[in-house]
Amino acid sequence: MMWYKVLASSAMSAAVGLPVAVTFLDTFGYIAQVMGVSMQPTLNPDRKTDYVFLNKWKVRHFELERGEIVALLSPKNQDEKLIKRIVGFEGDVIRTKNKKRGVSIPKGHCWLEGDNSKHSHDSNDFGPVPVGLIYAKASRIVWPPHRMGKLKRGEIHEDRYVVKQNPKVTLFPNP
């Protein structure tokens, strides 16, 4: 009869623990592996894999700033997740990587680029991105240990061509 008590106790723990864990992951965030070279040198600088905390709580009201690193669903393939830096917001005019034309960012959109512009699939390829595709901010490197620390809002590199910047951006104003 002892196995019955162990099984009942385990089932009760799972019944309480699982919803708490799911709520935490859906509300606050989780740790994710960053793959690829598109965010070098900020992430994966030595071609080894970084793990970051993706903070979902910070994007619940779309309080985003230029220079922040965000996680999003790819606008071309909703099954693919990307991590990029915010370069511009609605009302900004961005000169694309090939420097041939300026792109005006429409309402509810932003311009995202990888730090490694030669190896990044980003807004230079697919244009302005709906802000609603952003689901988290990358707030900390949590692994490897020698790289642990907060990810600071980065300066927009000089090779990112912001022609005109909208000084006051309110993506979704409170009524």
10 Å Cβ neighbour count for 67? 14
* 123 is a catalytic site residue: no
* Distance separating alpha carbons of residues 130 and 111, to the nearest angstrom: 9
3-state helix, strand, coil in the chain (%, to 5): 25, 30, 45
* Distance separating alpha carbons of residues 40 and 38, to the nearest angstrom: 6
79 is written with which tokens? 């099954």
Catalytic entry in 38, 120, 123, 139: 38
Q: In this structure, what DSSP letter does residue 1 have?
A: -
CB 125 within 8 A of CB 145: no
Catalytic entry in 48, 56, 81, 84: 84
AA letter at 20: V
10 Å Cβ neighbour count for 167? 7
* 84 is a catalytic site residue: yes
Residues annotated as catalytic are 38, 84
